[in-house]
Amino acid sequence: MRKFKLQVQTTVDGYMAGPNGEMDWMTFPWTDDINAYIGALMKPVDCIVLGRKLAEGFIPAWAAGPEGEDKESIDWMNNTPKVVISNTLTESPWENAVVAGGDLAETVNKLKAQPGGDIIAYGGGTLVSDLIAKGLLDELHLFVNPTAIGAGMPVFANIGAHQRLRLVAARPFDCGITAMHFEPKRP
């Protein structure tokens, strides 16, 4: 069965965006060591999962070829099939993306049962907290930026009961970001 991974940028105090969606706290430029790490994380992935709100900015931004990104990353982001989780959209307005609604666990389990490589979710906030709360992720990759913002959109919002995690690895990078790789502790 395919692995379902989460990759998310976070602050030291656990936010993935500021109170109004700000992301100006992210550390840039990245260094070669973090780029290589993320390249290895993405290599087995052949499907990207996004929430609708994130998809509305994410997909067009990558289609425009963001400044500072290498062609290989831009091509990978644009060519990798995407699943947009939404209960408001009925069809995808984007190329290479389908919309999936309804029960999140059922949707994710169908994706994981299909043949193929790993699946990665990049967010948004509601999707991330729902995936965590429902125990649908196999791996969590938190890229902790050396910044605290005090308020905003938490990674672990509305998750219900305690979420027990096992630290698989922690790796600091030259740019100051630390990757924290967790797996859920399953009963």
For the residues of 119-174, what is the DSSP string, one character each?
EEEEE-HHHHHHHHHTT--SEEEEEEES---SSSEETT-S--S---EEEEEEEE-T
Q: Mean pLDDT over residues 50-74, rounded? A: 92
Domain ranges across the chain: 4-177
Q: Mean pLDDT over residues 57-73, rounded? A: 91
Output the pLDDT for position 163.
84
Q: Which residue has the higher pLDDT, 162 or 109?
A: 109
State the pLDDT confidence band at 98, using cuts at 50, 70 and 90.
Answer: very high
Radius of gyration of the chain (CA): 16
State the pLDDT confidence band at 56, using cuts at 50, 70 and 90.
Answer: very high
Among 79, 49, 52, smallest CA distance to 63 is for: 79
Q: Mean pLDDT over residues 71-88, rounded? A: 94
The proportion of the chain whose per-residue pLDDT surpasses 70, expressed as a percent, equals: 100
Whether the CB-CB separation of 62 and 181 falls below 8 Å is answered with no
Q: For 4-177, which CATH superfamily applies? A: Dihydrofolate Reductase, subunit A (3.40.430.10)
Output the pLDDT for position 158.
83
Output the pLDDT for position 3.
96
Q: Which pLDDT tens digit goes with each residue over 10-39?
A: 999 999 999 999 999 999 999 999 999 999
Output the pLDDT for position 161.
74
